[in-house]
Copies of this chain bind each other. A is one copy, B any other.
Amino acid sequence: MSETKPMTAAGHRILGAAGELFYGRGITAVGVDLIAEHSGVTKRTLYNQFGSKDQLVVAYLEEREQRWQLLVRETIAAAASPIEAVLAPLEALRAWNQNNPRGCAFINALAELPDPTHPAHVVATQEKQWLIDLFRELAAAAGCSAPDTLATRLLVLHEGALVTQQLSLDTLSVSIELARGLVRAATSTESQTASA
């Protein structure tokens, strides 16, 4: 869409600083002055590059979206089987969470920007839509008879693991283990998927 713009060196630094600060301290709590200072750039340059704070927030979310989706795709490509591929988004969280201990940036953004018409809000919801669509496609490719149901279940597990990460418990392993059982059950022959 708009990533065709080459983006200057200063632009990258701004986006990098904005990423750390927005994710680490919250979007509303971080001012443009702080971002400019952390990226060693004048506020004027920031506004020349991004136009407004809102647009910078959108760029921040889009950048994270790209990195995350790339990681997921790589994990899918490295999966040993179609069944393991369904679990790839969950498995990708293992590495992702190492550097992102503050939960899901999109969920956090939704918490801070309730206005559904806000462009950043739209980006965040689209990301989740992408994920459930991906789960559905992977489930179908793995031969699941009810891809919709499995995809919704996996999305719940995914978000649950993400959001409970901030607590000390190791919920990711539990979620993956549980998800693996669900995928196995949903792709084996047919019939029982744990009640109806």
Interface of A with B (CB < 8 Å)?
Answer: 24-26, 28-29, 102-103, 107-108, 110-114, 125, 128-129, 132, 149, 152-153, 155-164, 166-167, 169, 171, 174-175, 177-178, 180-182, 185, 194-195
Contacts and interface: CB of A to CB of B under 8 A. Distances in A.
A167 B28 contact: no
Contacts of A107: 103, 107, 111, 163
Given A103-B111, A111-B26, A111-B107, A159 B157 contact: no
Contacts of A24: 114
Contacts of A26: 28, 111-114
Contact of A157 (B125, B160, B169): B160
Given A155-B171, A156-B157, 9 more contacts: A25-B114, A28-B29, A102-B114, A128-B164, A149-B174, A152-B169, A153-B178, A155-B164, A178-B182
Contact of A160 (B25, B163, B195): B163
Identical subunits present:
2
Nearest to A192: B181
14 contacts: A26-B111, A26-B112, A28-B28, A103-B107, A103-B111, A108-B112, A153-B178, A156-B161, A157-B157, A159-B164, A160-B160, A177-B195, A178-B194, A185-B194
Given A29-B28, A159-B159, A171-B152, A112 B111 contact: yes
A162 B160 CA distance: 8
A156 B177 contact: no
A51 to B, nearest CB: 21
Contact of A156 (B28, B102, B132, B164): B164
A34 to B, nearest CB: 14
Contacts of A162: 163
